[in-house]
């Protein structure tokens, strides 16, 4: 897993001077792992030392993902070797991620885990929604990596649980309300493009010209969203329903909130403006966002309005599920952990 | 506007015996008017005596809409002539529809109006959302033509206000709850294909690969939905937000309801089953419907579930916005007015 | 495989009087088999006596294909039983079709085979492109079922090889030229929607927002097209390249022909008009057709023009690959075999 | 049109040291002008000094194109002012471009013109396909800016005619053959996404789920393609037919070539490999390219094969019509004119 083995081809990585850290991407052939590798490959301050894959070791990443243009040969993941990595982005399925994370942590490697394995702080909840936890002892050390909410704690974190795509969008839409104690009952009607399900997961004929809800009896992002809303101070009932859009990338969360106390439209806007002032990746917009506005970017576009008829707050957040909803946020978190500007390598 | 003028081409209309009624379609070059003409053209018991268009008189309808295959020449609308029509489907824009409807009614022609002009029973509400009403005196005679809700009154109606596409889907999702007194606060998150906006309304580049909410500060279907929910007995606050899907046809309403009194999941299902038993165009389905399941059909697919976490009812309804959401329902209403089986010409 | 076993549910098949023939659909769970079952189910003169499926026997067809609305229970295919069928539409994969066709023929059942097994008259060619032929003895009895070309021979045929979707479109575009001895070298650049590949064949993320050629080193429809062009009298070199469109249904063949002798644009049009006059399913159109014009219909739209710059003929044909390119044409052939009007059940 | 007027907002342009040139984008609100502005804005060595628009002066570009993220205020185009520009990318419609180009040239500004005004060297041909030429005197000074073909002449060019999107793809597919004297008769069957037609040009309902040829009686890129093929040494008849794809970006040219002399498959591949060795933006690929492989990049993917059956060469080229087919190539040309590495600002 040395650089000479894994990094080949037309060019070497365009670094500016000595890298701040040497980074592994584990599971680089899934959609999120491949994007993480691309972002690291172009990152001016971080060195991509290995991109691993069980199924495709030996193949070039740019053969699998021509658009990403990463001329790196995929390698088997071997921890008992050289790699001298400082950090890792782990993009394996839940269940498979935790044991690797544990090994990496044991060797002192700092980890951003893109799976669900360390998102739920309550073991019982995890095991009810997923499976027996392979590394439960690490749960309490993990920081929930919604960067905008936990920035302070990321700096010292050794293990960051990268949030799910749906909770990312919903929490960014709701955080200002929740933090201000205004968030009562909530309905989150969320819609995602097909890439949220991963490669090979959806037959073209099943979703082309179609649109439908799914997992209405309980999606795994539901307890994650509830946990974080509680953490922010929201106490109301939360309903979350995901829908599948006939597009590849893009996610919109439409949130309907009963206010815990009466608040005017101007106050609401002021609250959101104050909360997100200076945020590099949250844009407060005056009209409801479309998912295409944020495609292939780490930006979250948020719009808030008051529904006069019902008194409810309408809060919308559009993200690219692969970027801010997965790999982009993972890199934003890694930047924060390493003391780099959060936007480094993400523009 | 006699048949010999307007109906030409390769074939004559395939009627079974004497027609039950002679029917005009006014405004046959819009999406809904053209579909109405197609449905009438193939209707075994009704005769399409004229399809009118201001802009395209003289052209053949099958030139404008090859897929519909209606070999009829469009004519100017002239009321002072022959047409001997018994009924009319009026598919003009709101504001333009009402004066024509008034004239048709004055001549004794029974009308299904697809515009919004006679949907709101309260004149003030109409004029706040639309414009001064050109034929307010007719408002009280109009029957709201959501067939499944007002079947009895349709039989004797002379003027039927065909519902909006969004209210149609939302009301079919919510009616069993509302009628049973169970419907508390409601959020309706609705999504429609582009044909809901009409021809030429949406630039391809604006919506391809995109998805977004629109009119979040108030869509005109909002007061219509509220009016009918009240009529059914629902008293809670109603929030309605439409979104635009990157497909042509199809509409899904996702409804989130706070129950007015506790009700179990089994009870809910039983309630819906009882309510829709025998309905020719409402299908209660065990999993959430996709809009493609009902494309090019007059069927509404409804799914109901209880969200255990929040206690809310989740009710979904998928329709084809051009069929059950417009022209299909118009014909269903016309069948009901004429004492024909509701499904005649709609299979 | 009696009707009482297989046909259940809300309704019985809407036949007008005694059926002309009792028909089996073998392989009714693929896209083409399911559409064939739907067309037969609504056919006023033919009775669908069984829809068979190895994998889904016991399930209802309208559960698998809600839009088709065929309330029939799928059955195992058993030939040693009752079925008393007069004809069969066989929609199995190539290789699997031939043995069943042989058995059906042995029992006197007339067959339209939708697979490739009986399209190539030359055994060696078949075996080079496909595999050893399981029923080569039947090859010479098969009639190539491009209805418009072989109508006369269909009346007495017992085994009809339903053409491939690409050859159907290309041959309809080229037949008038070929029959008139005008067809020299030909390039066929063809484009098909994803349903041409069958259910589950194409990952959404592979083709959404994409477009690409495939099998440029030889598609199996290539020898079929060449065989039939030769049969019609064309002697030039034929190049055929298929491309995959990011839509579900629809196929366009763009054909570029070097004229065997100089011919004017008017002559060309006259030739095509004469050739296709009276054809129920071929529409000669004055502008190039779009695939959507013919969606969900058995119509082939053909446009011919002369490219002044090069002297080449441009001939385009748009079809729905599932209808005229497969099941619609199969039924058109069956109608022809049984002496019924070709359009029966296809409007 | 000074920088202080036009460049505002959150950031200043991220330049590395002194800019090599100060550049105007004229017509920055069209799709190609906006992309040109984005590429210049992020270019490390060129300074975007003004982005002009007649219709939208005073608005911010990132408001019109959120995804491009260019925080620049659009200005009126005034030549009698300060701007001290060294170069300009002109993205106006044909006819409107030429007079501005003439003025800019009169002031010594070097120009890449993205319109068709200077692509055709023969005045008569231009005026037959377009309109009377507003600045015919400049025709002979213009260099046809297909970078890979005219690199040497670009260095000293003051006026570069940026090629059409279709000719770019077709010429890259065909150049190796033409230059080697192997290119006989040619058919170019080309397919483009909707953005090729510009904003607001295509109704969603017209092209969604559709695919069709257009301008089969003569597209304006036809004489341009013929001119350049002749220039490269090809003498055969050229047929060019464009088609419209139901996607936003992406263009594929499928080229069918009769060889001027027999050539083997291996020789062909070797010819292409030699021709494109070292080209930064042409990738020779072993399988036919999809348009999505090159989306949002300046890369042209080329695949060549020999059709054994017909002896024809099959050559495919996929580009992003807005990048290599327009603005990306314009910047590549500008880089070449200024002696910068061609890929600067294009990765």
Q: What is the ipTM of this complex?
A: 0.94
Reported residue count of chain B is 347
Q: What are phi and psi of D113, to 5 degrees?
A: -100, 120
What mean pLDDT is predicted for residues D273-298? Answer: 97
Rg, C-alpha atoms of chain C: 20
Can you give C4-30 as a three-state secondary structure string?
HHHECCCCCCCCCCCCCEEEEEECCCC
pLDDT value, residue B8: 32
Please calculate the CA angle D192-D195-D199 and round it to the nearest 5 degrees.
Answer: 150
Which of B67, B278, B319, B323 should be substituted to probe chain C, the one whose Cβ sees the most C Cβ atoms within 10 Å? B67
Question: Do the Cβ atoms of D309 and C250 come within 8 Å?
Answer: no
Q: What is the DSSP letter of C116?
A: S
* Residue C202 with chain A: CB contacts under 8 Å: 203-205
What mean pLDDT is predicted for residues C12-28? Answer: 88
Return all residues near D148 (Cβ < 8 A) that are at least 6 apart.
Answer: D172, D175, D276, D279, D281, D282
Question: Residue A248's pLDDT band (boundaries 50, 70, 90)?
Answer: very high
Question: Do the Cβ atoms of B202 and D203 come within 8 Å?
Answer: yes
Nearest by CB to residue B295, choosing from C67, C292, C301, is C67
Considering Cα of A74, then A80, then A85, then A87, what sign does the dihedral take? Answer: positive
Task: Assess A237–B contact: CB distance below 8 Å, yes or no.
Answer: yes
Question: Residue A82's pLDDT band (boundaries 50, 70, 90)?
Answer: very low
Report how far Cα B295 is from the mean position of its chain's Cα atoms. 14
**Three-state SS for B75?**
strand
What single string gives the DSSP state of each residue in B143-166?
EE--HHHHHHHHTT-SEEEPPPHH
* Residue C246 with chain A: CB contacts under 8 Å: 208
**Each residue of B183-194: pLDDT tens digit?**
999 999 999 999
What mean pLDDT is predicted for residues D30-56? Answer: 96
* Residue D202 with chain B: CB contacts under 8 Å: 203-205
Question: Do the Cβ atoms of A205 and C248 come within 8 Å?
Answer: yes
* Residue A217 with chain B: CB contacts under 8 Å: 305
Task: Assess A38–D contact: CB distance below 8 Å, yes or no.
Answer: no
**Each residue of C245-254: pLDDT tens digit?**
999 999 999 9
**Three-state SS for D133?**
coil
pTM to 2 decimal places:
0.95
Question: Do the Cβ atoms of B293 and C66 come within 8 Å?
Answer: yes
Quote the percentage of chain A above a pLDDT of 70.
Answer: 95
* Residue B206 with chain D: CB contacts under 8 Å: 204
- Angstrom CA distances, C269 to A293, B62, C185, C285, stand at 48, 21, 20, 10
Chain D closest-CA separation from residue C174 CA (Å): 17
Tell the residue number behind the tokens 């009240």, with chain if given. Answer: B230
Distance CA B240, CA A256 (A): 10
- The secondary element (H helix, E strand) that includes residue B304 is strand B300-306
Task: Assess B69–C contact: CB distance below 8 Å, yes or no.
Answer: yes
The answer to whether B165 is a known catalytic residue is: yes
Q: What are phi and psi of B147, to 5 degrees?
A: -50, -45
Kindly state the greatest CA–CA separation across chain C: 64
Give yes or no for a contact between B248 and B290, defined as CB atoms under 8 angstroms apart.
no
What mean pLDDT is predicted for residues D112-131? Answer: 96
Q: Specify the higher pLDDT residue, A204 or C66.
A: A204
What mean pLDDT is predicted for residues D176-196? Answer: 97
User: Interface partners of A (3+ CB pairs, < 8 Å)?
Assistant: B, C, D
Question: Do the Cβ atoms of D67 and A297 come within 8 Å?
Answer: yes
pLDDT value, residue C31: 97
pLDDT value, residue B5: 36
Q: How many CB pairs under 8 A join B and D?
A: 49
pLDDT at A3 over 50: no
pLDDT value, residue D13: 77
Give yes or no for a contact between A188 and A241, defined as CB atoms under 8 angstroms apart.
yes
Task: Assess A227–D contact: CB distance below 8 Å, yes or no.
Answer: no
A residues 170-209 closer than 8 Å to B (CB): 185, 187, 189, 191, 209
Closest listed residue to residue D187, CA positions, set D241, D144, D135: D241
Chain C closest-CA separation from residue A337 CA (Å): 33
Question: Do the Cβ atoms of B67 and C296 come within 8 Å?
Answer: yes
Question: Do the Cβ atoms of A187 and B189 come within 8 Å?
Answer: yes
β pairing state of B300-306 and B282-284:
parallel
Chain B closest-CA separation from residue C209 CA (Å): 8
A residues 283-322 closer than 8 Å to B (CB): 288-292, 295, 303, 305, 307-312, 314, 316, 318
A125, burial (CB in 10 Å: exposed 0-12, middle 13-18, buried 19+):
middle
Residue of D nearest to A294 (CA): D67
Q: What is the DSSP letter of D325?
A: I
C19, burial (CB in 10 Å: exposed 0-12, middle 13-18, buried 19+):
middle
pLDDT at C5 over 50: no
Give yes or no for a contact between B345 and B320, defined as CB atoms under 8 angstroms apart.
no
Question: Do the Cβ atoms of C203 and A202 come within 8 Å?
Answer: yes
- Angstrom CA distances, A155 to A26, A85, B221, stand at 22, 18, 49
Provide the β-strand partners of residue D23: D48, D87
Chain B closest-CA separation from residue D194 CA (Å): 7
pLDDT at B12 over 70: no
Return all residues near D2 (Cβ < 8 A) that are at least 6 apart.
Answer: D49, D81, D82, D83
pLDDT value, residue C336: 98
Question: Residue C69's pLDDT band (boundaries 50, 70, 90)?
Answer: confident
D335, burial (CB in 10 Å: exposed 0-12, middle 13-18, buried 19+):
buried
**Each residue of D133-151: pLDDT tens digit?**
999 999 999 999 999 999 9
Give yes or no for a contact between C315 and C174, defined as CB atoms under 8 angstroms apart.
yes
C95, two tokens: 């290789």
Distance CA C285, CA C173 (A): 12
Quote the percentage of chain C above a pLDDT of 90.
Answer: 89
Give yes or no for a contact between D84 and D49, defined as CB atoms under 8 angstroms apart.
yes
- The secondary element (H helix, E strand) that includes residue C266 is helix C265-276
Report how far Cα C171 is from the mean position of its chain's Cα atoms. 12
Q: What is the DSSP letter of D203?
A: B
Residue of B nearest to D201 (CA): B203
* Residue A209 with chain B: CB contacts under 8 Å: 247-250, 292, 295
**Each residue of D192-212: pLDDT tens digit?**
999 999 999 999 999 999 999
* Residue B38 with chain C: CB contacts under 8 Å: none
pLDDT at C4 over 50: no
Chain B closest-CA separation from residue D282 CA (Å): 27
Nearest by CB to residue D195, choosing from B200, B205, B247, is B205
**Each residue of D62-114: pLDDT tens digit?**
999 988 989 999 999 877 654 589 999 999 999 999 999 999 999 999 999 99
- Angstrom CA distances, B158 to B107, B109, B333, C313, stand at 11, 8, 11, 57
Tell the residue number behind the tokens 């047929």, with chain if given. Answer: D239
Report how far Cα C38 is from the mean position of its chain's Cα atoms. 15
Q: How many CB atoms lie within 10 A of CB C18?
A: 7
Distance CA B42, CA B344 (A): 10
Across the beta sheet with B87-90, the strand order is: B46-52, B21-26, B87-90, B110-113, B159-161, B143-144
Return all residues near C310 (Cβ < 8 A) that are at least 6 apart.
Answer: D185, D237, D238, D239
Q: Whole-number mean pLDDT of chain A?
A: 93
User: Interface partners of B (3+ CB pairs, < 8 Å)?
Assistant: A, C, D
Chain A closest-CA separation from residue B238 CA (Å): 6
Alpha helix stretches (DSSP H) within chain B: 3-6, 31-41, 61-64, 97-106, 123-129, 147-154, 165-179, 204-207, 221-232, 265-276, 328-338
Task: Assess B279–C contact: CB distance below 8 Å, yes or no.
Answer: no
Q: What are phi and psi of A143, to 5 degrees?
A: -100, 135
Chain A closest-CA separation from residue B312 CA (Å): 8
Can you give chain A as a three-state secondary structure string?
CCHHHHECCCCCCCCCCCCCEEEEEECCCCHHHHHHHHHHHCCCCEEEEEEECCCCCCCEHHHHCHHHCCCEECECCCCCCCCCCCEEEECCCCCCHHHHHHHHHHCCCEEEECCCCCCCCCHHHHHHHCCCCCCHHHHHHCEECCHHHHHHHHCCCCEEECCCHHHHHHHHHHHHHHHCCCEEEEEEEEEECHHHHCCCCCEHHHHCCCCEECCCCCCCHHHHHHHHHHHHCCCCCEEEEEEECCCCCCEEEEEEEEECCCCCHHHHHHHHHHHHCCCCCEEECCCCCCHHHHCCCCCEEEEEEECCCCCCEEEEEEECCCHHHHHHHHHHHHHHHCCCCCCCCCC
Distance CA A143, CA B110 (A): 68
Residues of D noted as catalytic:
165
Question: Do the Cβ atoms of A204 and C203 come within 8 Å?
Answer: yes
Residues of A noted as catalytic:
165
Q: How many CB pairs under 8 A join C and D?
A: 144
Which of C41, C64, C65, C67 should be substituted to probe chain B, the one whose Cβ sees the most B Cβ atoms within 10 Å? C67
Least confident of A33-42, A82-91, B28-37: A82-91
Which of A29, A204, A249 should be substituted to probe chain C, the one whose Cβ sees the most C Cβ atoms within 10 Å? A204
pLDDT at D33 over 80: yes
Kindly state the greatest CA–CA separation across chain A: 64
Q: Whole-number mean pLDDT of chain C?
A: 93
Distance CA A43, CA A330 (A): 13
Helix axes D165-179, D221-232, angle to 10 degrees: 20
pLDDT value, residue D94: 96
Q: What are phi and psi of B175, to 5 degrees?
A: -55, -45
Question: Residue C347's pLDDT band (boundaries 50, 70, 90)?
Answer: confident
Kindly state the greatest CA–CA separation across chain D: 64
Question: Do the Cβ atoms of C294 and B209 come within 8 Å?
Answer: no
Distance CA C323, CA C48 (A): 18
Helix axes A147-154, A328-337, angle to 10 degrees: 30
Distance CA D263, CA A91 (A): 48
pLDDT at D4 over 90: no
**Each residue of A311-340: pLDDT tens digit?**
999 999 999 999 999 999 999 999 999 999
- The secondary element (H helix, E strand) that includes residue D179 is helix D165-179
Please calculate the CA angle C74-C75-C81 and round it to the nearest 5 degrees.
Answer: 150
* Residue D288 with chain C: CB contacts under 8 Å: 212-214, 216
């Amino acid at each position: 897993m040395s650089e000479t083995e894994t990094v080949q081809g037309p060019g070497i990585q365009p670094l500016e001077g000595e890298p701040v850290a040497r980074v592994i991407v584990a599971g680089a052939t899934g959609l999120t792992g491949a994007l993480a590798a691309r972002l690291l490959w172009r990152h001016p301050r971080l060195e991509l030392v290995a991109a691993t894959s069980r199924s495709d070791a030996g193949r070039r990443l740019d053969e699998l993902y021509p658009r990403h243009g990463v001329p790196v040969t995929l390698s088997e993941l071997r921890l008992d070797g050289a790699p001298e990595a400082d950090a890792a982005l782990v993009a394996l399925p839940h269940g498979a991620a935790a044991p690797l994370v544990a090994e990496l942590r044991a060797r002192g490697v700092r980890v951003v885990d893109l799976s669900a394995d360390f998102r739920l702080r309550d073991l019982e909840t995890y095991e009810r929604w997923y499976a027996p936890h392979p590394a439960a002892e690490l749960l309490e050390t993990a920081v929930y990596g919604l960067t905008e909410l936990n920035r302070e704690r990321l700096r010292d974190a050794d293990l960051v649980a990268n949030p799910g795509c749906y909770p990312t969008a919903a929490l960014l839409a709701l955080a200002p309300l929740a933090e201000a104690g205004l968030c009562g009952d909530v309905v989150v009607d969320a819609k995602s493009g097909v890439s949220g399900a991963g490669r090979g997961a959806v037959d073209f004929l099943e979703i082309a010209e179609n649109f439908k809800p799914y997992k209405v009896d309980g999606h795994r992002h539901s307890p994650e969203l509830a946990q974080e809303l509680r953490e922010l101070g929201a106490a109301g009932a939360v309903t979350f329903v995901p829908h599948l859009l006939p597009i590849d990338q893009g996610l919109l969360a439409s949130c309907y909130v009963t206010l815990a106390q009466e608040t005017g439209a101007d106050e609401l806007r002021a609250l959101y403006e104050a909360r997100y002032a200076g945020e590099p990746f949250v844009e407060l917009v005056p009209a409801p966002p479309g998912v295409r506005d944020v495609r292939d970017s780490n930006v979250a576009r948020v719009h808030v309005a008051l529904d006069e008829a019902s008194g409810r707050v309408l809060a919308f957040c559009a993200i690219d599920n692969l970027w801010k909803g997965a790999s982009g946020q993972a890199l934003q978190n890694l930047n924060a952990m390493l003391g780099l500007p959060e936007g480094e390598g993400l523009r």
